Amino acid sequence: MQGISVDLDGIKQAQRERLLHIDFRAYFLGDVGRSDLIKRFGIKAAAATRDINIYTELAPGNIDYDTKTKSFIREDGFKPLFEYNVSQVLSALSQGFGEDFVGSPKPVIACEMPAKLNKPKLDVLSVITRAIHQGKAVKVEYSSTSSGTAMRELVPFVLVDNGLRWHVRTYDRKNDRFGDFVITRITKAKLIDAPLGEHEDLKHDIQWNRIVEMELVPHPRIKHPRVIELDYDMIDGVRKQNVRAAVAGYVLRRWNVDCTEDHSLEGAEYHLWLRNTPALYGVDNLSIAPNHKKINDNSDNELARK
């Protein structure tokens, strides 16, 4: 849907957020009233009326007052005043508006999502995020499936959600390499107040800085490929997706992408085929990609640090 081109630079941030709330509700819920603004932002009725009036001036024809419901209803010719990111919209609809943590978050509409079986501990997560923000290293107690529990010194840079669990991209001082660590496996964490080495900078992480262009197409075994094209918003039958080499394995696993050169994997879960498998040569993070062994037999593959 084509949005409205309006200059909002002269509007203060607080009021812009209220205008966004009006626009969002009209766009995705179909109605908005003064009570919604009063409840959401704790403003007076007069201020809510003023915001709605400003919105109708900026976006004429978007909403109209309905005397029966005593609220403003979305008009047929609605054009959003703001641009929206799909992920943010779905997050708002399923978990509630804004970043205010007072009370229990409630979904805006009925929504059900698969339960996450593992969640990072907030006291550990807070140390990791502070280290990222402040550019510091951390000393952690980390448990691995191969070597048990040990102390490690890490330089964390980026949080990574692979769809199943959260990792942190780090420089691992013990092994002198960049890699991923599963946050739920960190039981203790403490900031290290000391300068970082120049070689520990993320700019030296080859796998993180390398971009791989994947060409994803409907799996040749699919009887009606047009359905898959719709699922993944393909153009001319292909979805070209740029991903960092460091997370390529996660993407391929999450979407069950058949990585064989002859699309030979069988199973109803394979809706996609990677038609340009040579693009994955040299990518380390392929241990969990479907048929990864034939893609890159010589790579040092790991899902995360063991």
Smallest CA-to-CA distance from 234 within 222, 250, 246 is with 222
Distance CA 116, CA 162 (A): 12
Q: Are 189 and 129 in contact (CB under 8 A)?
A: no
Model confidence at 302, in pLDDT bands (50, 70, 90)?
A: very low
Architecture field, domain 122-204: Roll (2.30)
Smallest CA-to-CA distance from 140 within 120, 154, 156, 158 is with 154
Model confidence at 300, in pLDDT bands (50, 70, 90)?
A: very low
- 306: pLDDT strictly greater than 60: no
Phi, psi of 212 (to 5 degrees): -110, 130
CA angle 28, 26, 24 (to 5 degrees): 65
Residue 105: what pLDDT?
66
pLDDT digits (tens, 9 = 90+) for 174-216: 999 999 999 999 999 999 999 999 999 999 999 999 999 999 9
pLDDT digits (tens, 9 = 90+) for 107-155: 888 888 777 788 899 999 999 999 999 999 999 999 998 889 999 999 9
- Centroid of chain to Cα 11: 29
Residues 6+ apart with CB under 8 A from 3: 79, 80, 81, 82, 83
Question: 72: number of CA atoms within 13 Å, CB side?
Answer: 26
Assigned CATH for 13-95: 1.10.10
Smallest CA-to-CA distance from 43 within 20, 71, 14, 74 is with 14
pLDDT digits (tens, 9 = 90+) for 230-268: 999 999 999 999 999 999 999 999 999 999 999 999 999
Where exactly are the structural domains of the chain? 13-95, 122-204, 210-295
Distance CA 284, CA 302 (A): 7
Phi, psi of 11 (to 5 degrees): -100, 130
Q: Which long-range contacts (CB under 8 A, 24 or more apart) does 198-203 make?
A: 200/137, 200/155, 200/171, 200/173, 202/157, 202/158, 202/169, 202/171, 202/178
Model confidence at 101, in pLDDT bands (50, 70, 90)?
A: low
Please name the residue that has the structure tokens 């812009």.
16
For strands 257-258 and 272-274, give the pairing. Answer: parallel
- 102: pLDDT strictly greater than 60: no
Q: Which two tokens stand for residue 235?
A: 């153009």
Mean pLDDT of 280-303: 67
